[in-house]
Structure 1
């Protein structure tokens, strides 16, 4: 099931501040397009204030069907459009990403980071991430590598921070989906299967730095 024009979306916005991430907002869906939804500026349900969103902001959202059942999905801000009123473009969820069970996850940011990957058969190769978050990554690789959905990969990712320092983060990820691109390369979407908290925090630090970069452009 997909949201519809004029329905109300109920939102929470990912934030480093835990209390801020719990604030509830609502916004009307103004338009439904092939790749995105256009929504009005969200309003804080408690105090009625408008919420300014930034490019790359991650959202946890739900809408109600005609029977009052909540349908949840995760999204992020793609851009903005000035119409009679200001509208915000957010990524439209795939039908299989809409669920009746809330599945909040860490936000992701676009990032091209060097990634060393080891397959279950011990094959090793280098790839580059497409996006990165505290809950998982996606990466691009040569189509010759036999990466399969459901298998686990050992990964080592090179993180570069704004102060010029470099760090490595190691983790085990589970392949959620593999897509073959027209270029012949593959895009591999993964969620973290085994990662310790310090590794995750390094990745989240990197993500927030990247999010600030988007906001300052």
Structure 2
């Protein structure tokens, strides 16, 4: 399903500046025109300030439907239009086949080898790589020597590279739900998030969405 006129869009704007790329904005769909939506100038959800946009700006967008489901898509700025005293931004409508929806308790999961720092309850630390990541949890591969058990809770820091070249990180607390002993002597650890901010979860979901679009475009 596509968003409708008067619906609120939430998004991040691609930037080589890491702090700028992490900012979240929102704006209302004022009208539609062929293959484009006409949206009001974006407002920063953090500062309350308007954001100037430029032709070609890439956007990572989501909107929430009436049943509480988040729908994600990528877009870009096509141009601008004056509507009386209001200046509108023209952005590309999404291809419905390339949109991703995320239920409240069901998150997209993607295979990914991302750097992960782990701190155990006994203060031991190690760095490993993820096997897959998603908005509800991750799995990772580590050396067999680390003292991990089902229901162990650990503090983690995940490094997230985006397609625009920026790198972000997401701290969270996870709980081990399953461990597979591999033939190599290493462990595959499945973990769910038990403490993570919505903004940090959003970073992971954005990465998964970008990877899904990348796979579809191959």
Query: Which TM class, normalised by the smaller chain length?
Result: 0.5 to 0.7
- For the Cα contact (< 8 Å) 2:157–2:170, is it kept in 1? yes
1:19 corresponds to 2:20: no
What TM-score do the two structures reach when normalised by structure 2?
Answer: 0.54
- C-alpha displacement at 1:163, in angstroms? 0.5
Contact 2:108–2:134 (Cα < 8 Å) also in 1: yes
Query: Does the CA contact (< 8 Å) of 1:149 and 1:176 recur in 2?
Result: yes
Deviations 1:14-63 (Å, cap 9, x if unpaired)?
x955439989xxxxxxxxxxxxxxxxxxxxxxxxxxx9699xx8998xxx
| RMSD across aligned positions (CA) | 2.7
Question: Kindly tell me: are residues 22 and 214 of structure 1, through their superposed partners in 2, closer, same or farther at Cα, counting changes over 3 Å?
Answer: farther
Q: State the match for 2:210 in structure 1.
A: 209
Cα distance in 2 for partners of 1:118, 1:172 equals 10
Q: Distance in 1 between matches of 2:116 and 2:146?
A: 14
Q: Which is greater in Rg?
A: 2
Post-superposition offset of 1:158: 0.5
| Paired residue secondary structure (2:149) | coil
CA distance in 2 between counterparts of 1:20 and 1:214 reads 29
SS state at 2:190 partner: strand
- Relative to the length of structure 1, the TM-score reads 0.55
Match of 2:109 in 1: 108
* Structure 1 residues without counterparts, runs of 5 or longer: 1-14, 24-50, 61-102
- Structure 1 residues 148 and 58: CA distance shift in structure 2, 3 A: farther
